[in-house]
Amino acid sequence: MFCFRIFRSILHKNLSVLEVRIVKYKEILKYILLILLLLGPSFIISDTSPELAVPGQPETAKLFILDASGSMNEYLGIYQKVHLAKKYVRHYVDKLPEETEVGFIAYGNRLPGCQSSRLYQPLEKGNRPGFQNKLFGLTPSGATPLAESIRIAGDYIVRRKSPTDLILVTDGIESCYGNPEKELQVLQQKGINFKMHIFGLGLKPEEKRVMQSLAKTGNGRYYNVGEDSDFFLAMEDLLKQEPLPKKAELEPEKRKSKIRIASIEKKQTDSEENFYRVKFVFENSDSENQCVILNLKRRSSASSKIQNWNPQRASEPERVERTEQICFQTRKGEGEFQISAPAHLPLNLELELWDTKGIPSSVDKSGEIKLTE
């Protein structure tokens, strides 16, 4: 009996302590609920949580399949195929919006045999420097396993819900007994949202027909590249197919030229010849190695109907009488040309800015102005 009383006393004390603690916890909970109500429902349930977020229009990712086989060391015109591929792939990627995911698979690249396809750059937003570094690190050597590359690309993008463009740049057809067309059909049967565009570099007629058929199967476009200018025009055409946001498009009248004629001063005049000082300013944030080229051109009596293939180059190069150049190792600066010109010839003047880092490429032009009367 005595033990029971002791037990009841201990139990009563413990229950009293527990009741006190419950009361305290209730008070704390009241304060927490009051704070949450004051902060509002947006604090309790975030409208940016993945489950509640409203999905936007998905961007079409760009996954390149690049030929780094041994034949890419060969020349197309005056340039090696691999250098042209690197130059214009970079050109294309640089013009895409920053939010576009880009990456690339390559085959060859010093790996022998028919299992050389590798994902060198996964699809990412904004990582353009990393993409470019890996792109320019490719060294051609090896075979052409197109079917394997398409299969690897499909395995990579199969879990993605957003559409993906596969962009194949190659100078040859399958050389490893695979069936690229069948691999594309397998991807389509899996319900993968993709298109496949193909750039064929210097292909023979029969190879061209094979690639045209492959692009058709992939619901994409085929571009035949026979020289440097073909590659430029092909990439520009593919870019035009993109629904680029308006903010990425510059209005022509508001576009800031990277090369501009600041002034032209006539220093001396005689009956035969005029002397001029042509001052200019330039700015190209993409490179520290560039040259300014002066084109002295015969004046055209009528507007030419020949389409200029590169809008960044001087128009109607057949009218150029003389060229001079000055090179710089800076992103922006100024300089001047001192030139002489026959007084009796109607001449115009135009400047071009060239990026000389790697393969020289035109960046911008000043526009043509009248030099002599």
C-alpha dihedral (360, 361, 367, 369), degrees to nearest 10 = 20
DSSP run (H or E) holding 5: helix 2-39
In the chain, CATH 2.60.40.10 sits at: 259-302+312-371
pLDDT, residue 28, reads: 56
pLDDT, residue 151, reads: 95
| CA–CA dist 233, 156 (Å, integer) | 30
Q: Is 184:196 a contact under the CB 8 Å cutoff?
A: yes
pLDDT, residue 32, reads: 55
Q: Match 């960044």 to its residue by tokens.
A: 312
- In this prediction the pTM is 0.55
Q: Is 313:362 a contact under the CB 8 Å cutoff?
A: yes
367, with CB counted inside 10 A (0-12, 13-18, 19+), is middle
| CA–CA dist 290, 328 (Å, integer) | 6
- Pull the structure tokens for residue 6: 């002791």
pLDDT in tens, the chain (373 residues): 444 454 455 445 554 544 545 445 556 555 555 554 444 443 333 333 333 333 444 578 999 999 999 999 999 999 999 999 999 999 999 999 989 999 999 999 999 889 999 999 999 998 889 999 999 999 999 999 999 999 999 999 988 778 999 999 999 999 999 999 999 999 999 889 999 999 999 999 999 999 999 999 999 999 999 999 999 999 999 999 876 554 444 444 456 789 999 888 887 666 778 888 899 999 988 888 889 999 888 887 655 544 455 666 767 777 888 889 999 999 999 999 988 888 788 888 899 999 988 888 888 898 888 887 6
| CA–CA dist 238, 37 (Å, integer) | 54
| CA–CA dist 95, 238 (Å, integer) | 11
pLDDT, residue 340, reads: 86
Which ranges of 137-273 does DSSP label H, i.e. alpha helix? 146-157, 180-189, 205-217, 228-240
Q: Match 């209005």 to its residue by tokens.
A: 251
| CA–CA dist 210, 224 (Å, integer) | 12
Q: Is 267:275 a contact under the CB 8 Å cutoff?
A: yes
Burial letters 137-172, b for 16+ CB under 10 A, else e: ebebbbbbbbbbbbbbbbebbeebeeebbbbbbbbb
pLDDT, residue 346, reads: 86
pLDDT, residue 53, reads: 33
| CA–CA dist 218, 212 (Å, integer) | 10
Which ranges of 65-179 does DSSP label H, i.e. alpha helix? 81-94, 128-136, 146-157
Give the CATH class of 259-302+312-371.
mainly beta
In the chain, CATH 3.40.50.410 sits at: 61-241
Q: Which amino acid is at 208?
A: K
> Which CATH number is 61-241's, of 2.60.40.10, 3.40.50.410, 2.60.200.20, 3.40.30.10?
3.40.50.410
Residue 318: how many CB atoms within 10 A of its CB? Answer: 9
DSSP run (H or E) holding 362: strand 361-365
Query: How many Cα atoms occupy the beta-carbon half-sphere of 269 within 13 Å?
Result: 5
